[in-house]
Amino acid sequence: MKKVLIIGSGGREHAIGWAFKNAGFEVSFFPGNAGTKFVGKNVLLDNFDRLVEFDIVIPGSEEFLVKGVADDRRNVFGPDSSGARLEGSKCFSKLFMQRHDIPTAKFSIAKNSVELEDALKTFQPPYVIKADGLAQGKGVIIAENFSEAMEKGTKLINGTLISGVSGPVVVDEFLKGWELSAIAIVNGKDFALLPFTKDYKRAFTGNAGPNTGGMGAYGPVRIDNNLKRRIEDVFGRTLDGLKKENINYRGFLYIGLMIVENEPYVLEYNVRLGDPETEVIVTMAPDKFVENVVKAFSNEKIKEYYPENYAVDVVLASKGYPDNPTKGQKIEFVSNNGFFFFAGVKENNGELIVNGGRVLHSIGIDKNLEKAREKAYENIKTVHFEGMFYREDIAK
Ligand code: AMP
Ligand code: GLY
């Protein structure tokens, strides 16, 4: 039996492991969480030399890829650190898009407050300012007026806005449209699109409240063929650009798009799967997902597939998320029949305890979208913890 190691501890990692387990693999997680234990083994690795013990290693988040976990390791499914710059550095990725004629918002790079002021003057409000490096989803500021943009942008540059994040910023033209997550599997040469999904980023029902890592998702999202071809063109240009720059890329490639008048613009590249997009992607068609990943891992030909089911993921979050989630509450399941992926959950003396902002992902699957949605919401009734909240409008 082939041994797979999933790196990470969120719902995304639980979902990937669940799909591989169902396909007959022996699954381990590093470090995993209280839910991944139902699917495989949680292991503690004190150093990455031990990655050789596994046939396939799949890093869930960008963190390890940017640090080079895939460099010179053939068994890691993901780009090496040169490819991971697409996500690890916003300046690199915007300049990459410019070099290869990939549609994106107009932009400037600013390294200090004088350059920031000059850059902002060339745009209209609202102003979009992005940290260059990884900032755990907090690195994008949207400011309504010039003085707010100057104040926050300057703080972002000098490291006083987000702890541990400083340096140059990208100032982007604000794009108005609708967002779509387009994710493909790349086999080192070609790509195959995964089903399109929609992520709900704001915390509360009706798109209110602060931005989060994602409060739910559904898929497949149906789009017209014209737009689909335009998106394929964006992936094609991206892979061509990588080849021209001698960057080998094998793994997942996630393009966050803003669709403006039916034209896709790249907001960001991610070098991994999304969370909660993955929970939806794997449950729509687990076997096909695994089959394509394994083929791409072996540099074999891959093909786009079409799931027969819709899937809906409603995130159950803990009060205070995203800024300051309450932790430590006991999680009680009133039945064993629920379908959840676990995220911020830990085990303490045999009890399940809230240990993060996004706690559980409630999943509904059906051939009909409305029914999949109903199932995801019905499923929520089988669990409770104090301070639990969720959006009422996922997939509506
Ligand atoms: P990013 O991490 O670059 O995807 O940005 C996070 C979020 O900020 C996106 O999902 C968008 O909602 C918003 N955003 C980023 N760039 C722009 C832009 N140029 N125009 C409008 N909204 C943006
Ligand atoms: N859900 C957005 C992300 O994974 O980046």
| pLDDT tens, the chain, 396 aa long | 799 999 999 999 999 999 999 999 999 999 999 999 999 999 999 889 999 999 999 999 999 999 999 999 999 999 999 999 999 999 999 999 999 999 999 999 999 999 999 999 999 999 999 999 998 878 999 999 999 999 999 999 999 999 899 999 999 999 999 999 999 999 999 999 999 999 999 999 999 999 899 999 999 999 999 999 999 999 999 999 999 999 999 999 999 999 999 999 999 999 999 999 999 999 999 999 999 999 999 999 999 999 999 999 999 999 999 999 999 999 999 988 899 999 999 999 999 999 999 999 999 999 999 999 999 999 999 999 999 999 999 999
Minimum-distance ligand 2 atom for the alpha carbon of 272: 4
pLDDT for the residue 69: 96
Under 8 Å between Cβ of 354 and 385: yes
pLDDT for the residue 337: 87
- Specify if 355 maps to a domain: yes
Quote the ligand 1 centre to 286 CA distance (angstroms).
Answer: 30
Residue 125's CB: how many other CB atoms inside 10 A? Answer: 14
- Specify if 314 maps to a domain: yes
Minimum-distance ligand 2 atom for the alpha carbon of 199: 1
Q: Is 329 in the pocket of ligand 2 (CB under 6 A)?
A: no
Quote the ligand 2 centre to 61 CA distance (angstroms).
Answer: 10
Q: Is 286 in the pocket of ligand 2 (CB under 6 A)?
A: no
Quote the ligand 2 centre to 293 CA distance (angstroms).
Answer: 19
Q: Is 199 in the pocket of ligand 2 (CB under 6 A)?
A: yes
Q: Is 279 in the pocket of ligand 2 (CB under 6 A)?
A: no
- Specify if 227 maps to a domain: yes
- Specify if 98 maps to a domain: no
Indicate whether 284 and 185 sit together in one domain: yes
Q: Which two tokens stand for residue 183?
A: 């994710």
Q: Is 87 in the pocket of ligand 2 (CB under 6 A)?
A: no
- Specify if 9 maps to a domain: yes
Minimum-distance ligand 2 atom for the alpha carbon of 273: 4
Give the pairing type, strands 263-270 and 208-211. unpaired
Q: Which amino acid is at 296?
A: A
**CB-based burial, 53-69: b 16+ in 10 Å, e otherwise:** ebebbbbbbbbbbbeeb
Quote the ligand 2 centre to 196 CA distance (angstroms).
Answer: 13
> Which CATH number characterizes residue 52's domain?
3.40.50.20
- Specify if 94 maps to a domain: no
Picking from 297, 324, 340, the residue at the C-terminal end of a domain is 297
Indicate whether 45 and 120 sit together in one domain: no
> Which CATH number characterizes residue 274's domain?
3.30.470.20
Q: Is 274 in the pocket of ligand 2 (CB under 6 A)?
A: yes
Picking from 297, 328, 354, the residue at the C-terminal end of a domain is 297
Indicate whether 168 and 201 sit together in one domain: no
Domain count, the chain: 4
Indicate whether 165 and 182 sit together in one domain: no
d(CA 360, CA 375): 15
Ligand 1, residues at Cβ distance < 6 Å: 105, 128, 130, 140, 172-175, 179, 201, 256, 267-268
Q: Is 313 in the pocket of ligand 2 (CB under 6 A)?
A: no
Indicate whether 114 and 223 sit together in one domain: no
d(CA 55, CA 251): 15
Indicate whether 285 and 328 sit together in one domain: no
Domain that holds residue 157: 108-172
- Specify if 128 maps to a domain: yes
Write the DSSP symbol of residue 352.
Answer: E
Residue 243's CB: how many other CB atoms inside 10 A? Answer: 12
Write down the mean pLDDT value for the chain. 96
Indicate whether 212 and 281 sit together in one domain: yes
Indicate whether 314 and 276 sit together in one domain: no
- Specify if 121 maps to a domain: yes
pLDDT for the residue 68: 96
Ligand closest to 132 (CA) is: 1
> Which CATH number characterizes residue 330's domain?
3.90.600.10
Indicate whether 268 and 186 sit together in one domain: yes
Q: Which two tokens stand for residue 125?
A: 């409000």
Question: Which of 35, 36, 72 is closest to 51 using CA atoms?
Answer: 72
pLDDT for the residue 211: 87
Which residue CA neighbors atom 4 of ligand 2 most closely? 274
Quote the ligand 2 centre to 145 CA distance (angstroms).
Answer: 27
pLDDT for the residue 97: 98
Quote the ligand 2 centre to 341 CA distance (angstroms).
Answer: 16
Indicate whether 277 and 328 sit together in one domain: no
Q: How many CA within 13 A on the CB side of residue 95?
A: 10
Which residue CA neighbors atom 3 of ligand 2 most closely? 274
Quote the ligand 1 centre to 271 CA distance (angstroms).
Answer: 17
pLDDT for the residue 282: 98
Ligand 1, from 140, 207, 277: best to mutate by most atoms within 8 Å of Cβ? 140
pLDDT for the residue 336: 84
Picking from 130, 149, 172, the residue at the C-terminal end of a domain is 172
> Which CATH number characterizes residue 154's domain?
3.30.1490.20
Indicate whether 278 and 212 sit together in one domain: yes
Q: Is 283 in the pocket of ligand 2 (CB under 6 A)?
A: no
Minimum-distance ligand 2 atom for the alpha carbon of 12: 4
Indicate whether 190 and 281 sit together in one domain: yes
